[in-house]
Chain A
Amino acid sequence: MTEGKGISRRGLFGAAGAAVATGVAGYAAHSVLTGEESQAADNTGPVEFHGPHQAGIVTPVQDRLHFAAFDVTTTKRDDLIALLTEWTAAAALMTAGRDIGQYGAVNGPDEAPPEDTGEAIGLPPARLTLTIGFGPSLFDQRFGLAAKRPKALVDLPHFIGDDLDPNRSGGDIAVQACSDDPQVAVHAIRNLARIGFGRVAVRYSQLGFGRTSSTSKAQATPRNLFGFKDGTNNLKLEDTDKLEQQLWVQPEDGPDWMVGGSYLVSRRIRMNIEIWDRTSLGEQETIIGRGKGTGAPLGKADEFDAIDFAAKTSDGEPKVPMDSHVRLAHPQFNKGAELLRRGYNFVDGSDGLGRLDAGLFFLAYQRDPRKQFIPIQNQLARSDTMNEYIHHVGSGIFACPAGVTPGTYWGEKLFT
């Protein structure tokens, strides 16, 4: 299987021969950045897979997520490299809206199982992005990568209140699939998992049905399951200078294979939905530090008004309480540290007590977790009033290398 092959999902049945597929080139007309800006309005087209940075980070956040963490089961370095090569080719096809394999979903021999699982037939690319990251556990003795482990790829410390399920945490490799069509995202993870059988095994996966932040000023701020606008002050792709400071690994940071990449922290945050819903509006707003309707900081009128941390109520109390979420998470109180968040709402049915198994699958990219996620989360875990309504039940940290250039595979520099 090589790049440039593949069956277009649209018009598939008309083009019976299927070898007419022209590959991804037809979609790759515009540069990464201009492409992303224009794509915010068009939810059906493709997002360019290749580029200096991996897609799916500053890409305007798509509506749906399927995230999967894998354990590598092979002990052979060559198997791992072969897998990454095959995955990269499949990812390039799927992000372009094409079936994987030589024959795709329905044009192969009757006697063989279809190469592509087929549930995306007829669906557009739907801005699918596939983003890969490598967890700390990959850098053990199995593949000779120990010396290549970035210093910033630390094991996350225990944060106060953590209630982590090992079966929803960690992983040697993570793949984040985001799309505006849920079935397209699921199709991507399903096919990558299938390619990986015998070499990797899914450790856990997570569906997200609604984005909880914006990564472009062209996007409206969505709401999380607490009913509040989330991610108002997120890093956005238009903040190009800040992205270099806060998001992308710089040459002076090292290691070389991570330059142009970013570190991903994932947290499965369960919300006590039913209890939150019984909490008064005023209490909800002081916990968050924003108005529920407008999303404006308390004491302000507009969502994007600057937060006035010094403002006092007539009782002399801060309008934005000391233990409110927006204050504790704000760069002003975190040595300027910011995150690019692109988390998703999830509802995985209900739990054994008849409550929604729901919350936020938090995903945040950053240049150095030691200076960003870890200190911010330490402060939140210690003081955030919101902790009465949430608990962190899953966790992961992954080094996401720079983007893929045609003819190379995901993370190739790590192995060369």
Chain B
Amino acid sequence: MFTSTTRGVIALGAVLGLATLTGCADDTPAASADDGTGPVSVKATDSACDLSRRDVKSGTSTFSVSNGGSKVTEFYVYAEGDRVMGEVENIGPGLKRDLIVELPTGKYQAVCKPGMVGDGIRGDLTVAGGAAAQVDEDTLLKQATDSYQRYVNSQAVALEQKTTEFVTAVKAGDVAKAKALFPVSRTYWERIEPVAESFGDLDPKIDARVNDVEPGTEWTGYHRIEQALWVSNTTKGMEKYADQLLTDVKTVVAKAKVVKLNPLQLANGAKELLDEVATGKITGEEDRYSHTDLYDFQANVEGSQAAVQALRPALQARDAALVTSLDTNFKAVFAAVDKYREGDGFKPYQVSEAEKKELSRVVDGLAEPVSKVAGVIAKK
């Protein structure tokens, strides 16, 4: 449980001025971004990520993403080091969503992630036209928090959507579907766990393991339902926990959408996500009935990377060697967990002690440089 880093610092209530907006394109046609260049059309399928053009002008761009594949997909614009400039989550088959994003001059990657896992299908994106922005450090840090808050926002939206689907399957008595959705809905939770967990007692209600529960208190949340699904192979009796889960998740999502974070919280959150991997996921304690720990593992590391990479421009100016080390070690962790891929997900986490030790080694190797980020950011 991560109540510590954000203790007493997160102020609620201020709505973010979002630089990125996402919405369903079939509601209202997206307004043309600026000077008539028009949206970039993105045709996403299970095996391709085709952009109508790969050169855009600096300033605000719109990407109109349609999913022609059979898998739920995600679309990202990454700056160097997979720094998230903008993203749309949870685009179902046949759906179309817009990403509106502010992009300064530079080299980027446009990425579709069919099945929502892995490196995705990547292609270059060049932004030209404006002068390369010269910004001071305060601006870099402000951009970092803005960027990460956009990430939190989009994850929160997807968390609510996927949890709704999971809860619906549980209440419909569809055990197979509920089992399939369990690790997927948790992915969004795990990516932003430090933020979600900063909201006091919601975390234990949503994510407590059985031994985290005080005698006399009812065990609720994901893992309560997980136990029924995998141990008893049933959804019977889970209806009320499903309803409660969705209510609690909606509360978290509402709070996460308006959370105000500072750069140190990003850095500490990135570190805490790796602590979570080290203590809960590598040991297999998190998802002890479903053995879907590797989904959570991957999501924690992705969330950590999103926070670290948001800080990347500021870090690059202060400690370029640390940035190199972070890049190398994030790659090593993703490579290690990729060994366990199966289909669009992961094999059950029932691995040998030697394999656990290998995962532990790469996570420790990454956690050490990540733990140094806060100190570098705090330096005046």
Residues in chain A within 8 A of chain B (CB atoms) = 157-163, 272, 274-275, 278-280, 283, 286-287, 315, 317, 321, 323, 352-355, 378, 381-382, 385, 387-388
Contact with A along B210-250 (1 / 0, CB 8 A): 01111100000000000000000000000000000000000
When the two chains form the complex, which single residue of A283, A287, A353 contacts B268, counting CB atoms closer than 8 Å? A283
Taken together as a complex, chains A and B put the C-alpha atoms of A274 and B275 apart, in Å, by 9
Inter-subunit contact A323/B7 (CB<8 Å): yes
Taken together as a complex, chains A and B put the C-alpha atoms of A280 and B283 apart, in Å, by 24
* Contacting residues, chain B, for A283 (C-beta < 8 A): 4-5, 268
Inter-subunit contact A280/B275 (CB<8 Å): no
Inter-subunit contact B7/A321 (CB<8 Å): yes
| Minimal Cβ-Cβ distance residue in A for B209 | A161
Inter-subunit contact B8/A278 (CB<8 Å): no
Inter-subunit contact A274/B364 (CB<8 Å): yes
Which of A272, A321, A352 counts the most chain B CB atoms within 10 A?
A352
Q: A157-B215, A162-B211 are in contact. Are A353 and B3 (CB under 8 A)?
A: no
Inter-subunit contact B275/A388 (CB<8 Å): yes
Q: Which of B76-84, B315-323, B336-344, B355-363 contacts A (4 or more CB under 8 A)?
A: B355-363
Q: A162-B211, A278-B371, A387-B1 are in contact. Are A353 and B8 (CB under 8 A)?
A: no
* Contacting residues, chain A, for B278 (C-beta < 8 A): 272, 274-275
When the two chains form the complex, which single residue of B4, B360, B367, B371 contacts A287, counting CB atoms closer than 8 Å? B4
Contacts between chains A and B (CB distance < 8 A), count: 73
Does B282 make an interface contact (CB < 8 A)?
yes
* Contacting residues, chain A, for B282 (C-beta < 8 A): 353
Does B151 make an interface contact (CB < 8 A)?
no
Taken together as a complex, chains A and B put the C-alpha atoms of A274 and B363 apart, in Å, by 11
Taken together as a complex, chains A and B put the C-alpha atoms of A43 and B108 apart, in Å, by 68
When the two chains form the complex, which single residue of A272, A280, A355, A387 contacts B375, counting CB atoms closer than 8 Å? A280
13 inter-chain pairs at a CB distance below 8 angstroms, sorted by A residue, are A158-B211, A159-B214, A160-B211, A275-B279, A279-B371, A280-B268, A323-B7, A352-B356, A353-B282, A353-B283, A355-B360, A385-B3, A388-B1
* Contacting residues, chain A, for B3 (C-beta < 8 A): 323, 385
Inter-subunit contact A161/B211 (CB<8 Å): yes
Does B2 make an interface contact (CB < 8 A)?
yes
Inter-subunit contact B361/A354 (CB<8 Å): yes
Taken together as a complex, chains A and B put the C-alpha atoms of A161 and B285 apart, in Å, by 12
| Minimal Cβ-Cβ distance residue in A for B1 | A388
* Contacting residues, chain A, for B271 (C-beta < 8 A): 278-279
| Minimal Cβ-Cβ distance residue in A for B367 | A278
Given pairs A160-B212, A279-B271, A388-B275, 9 additional interface contacts (CB within 8 A): A160-B213, A161-B212, A163-B285, A272-B275, A286-B7, A321-B8, A352-B356, A355-B360, A385-B7
Chain B 199-216 interface residues, beta-carbon cutoff 8 Å to A = 211-215
When the two chains form the complex, which single residue of A159, A160, A317, A388 contacts B4, counting CB atoms closer than 8 Å? A388
Inter-subunit contact A354/B357 (CB<8 Å): yes
| Minimal Cβ-Cβ distance residue in B for A281 | B375
| Minimal Cβ-Cβ distance residue in B for A313 | B8
Taken together as a complex, chains A and B put the C-alpha atoms of A283 and B268 apart, in Å, by 10
Does B119 make an interface contact (CB < 8 A)?
no
Contact with A along B258-273 (1 / 0, CB 8 A): 0000000000100100
Taken together as a complex, chains A and B put the C-alpha atoms of A160 and B7 apart, in Å, by 21
